[in-house]
Amino acid sequence: MPSGAAACVRHLRAVATDRVNGAVWVEVTYSSPSMDRGSGCTREKPATTRVTLPKPLGGLDVIVDHYTHFTRHGAEPPALRRCGPLGCDPPRTGCTAASYDQAVLAADVPNHTYRDSERCDGEWLVLDLSWRTGPACDDTSAPGCSSRLGARWFFRAGKSGWVPLLDSAAGGCRDVRRAEPAFPTALCASLEPLRASLRPSHPPVTAPPSVAP
């Protein structure tokens, strides 16, 4: 919630608006002058409010403001467990498309990134990724409409999903085994370097030498 000055948040309340699709939907509203930078409400802090349900929650989940999902499954009553971006029951770490999606979320890549190839043995993973750049086009054959950038990420399996190790455009195992000597050569020995067009290198601009008068 906005904070930093007196009365940055007014009329904070939470209301149960619906009970559908296995969940109680809750809407949180408040008023604040924080859009005016001169108000002093330029920071944030947690805030608490109460919601009264028309009937017991039972086995239903709770969804707050359409995006924040809580479930009773796996939580110690009366607490609820907050679900993550892959849902309340994320896929097990492994060589599956759903598990690769979790790895993409864990890596530092732009939204709308595509998986181009995967190498996986259940404990270690290599993903070649790419994403569109340039203008939005109906015809990808038009100039500038097929431009892409890319990355190659290496992962190890962790308790809660794939854990990123490093991003490297080099071929082979040198970079990843420097970072993680246990990474299996079977997954990296035959890797070709990423295409130069996916990772363009731009040398720094240097000023021209000055000429003495």
pLDDT reading at 132 higher than 90: no
| Closest by CA position to 127, among listed 105, 160, 158 | 105
- The reported pLDDT for the residue numbered 209 is 67
- The reported pLDDT for the residue numbered 19 is 93
- The reported pLDDT for the residue numbered 211 is 63
DSSP-derived letter for residue 87 is B
Beta carbons within 8 Å of 99's beta carbon, 6+ residues apart: 91, 92, 93, 161, 162
Q: Based on the number of CB atoms within 10 Å of its own CB, is 153 exposed (0-12), middle (13-18) or buried (19 or more)?
A: buried
- The reported pLDDT for the residue numbered 213 is 61
49-63, 123-137, 144-158, 192-206: least confidently modelled range: 192-206
- pLDDT band of 1, cuts 50, 70, 90: confident
- The reported pLDDT for the residue numbered 133 is 81
Domain-wise residue ranges, the chain: 10-82, 97-188
Tally Cβ neighbours within 10 Å of residue 23.
Answer: 16
Structure tokens at 15: 């209301």
- pLDDT band of 157, cuts 50, 70, 90: very high
- The reported pLDDT for the residue numbered 14 is 94
| Closest by CA position to 147, among listed 156, 159, 128, 134 | 134
- pLDDT band of 202, cuts 50, 70, 90: low
pLDDT reading at 139 higher than 70: no
DSSP-derived letter for residue 99 is H
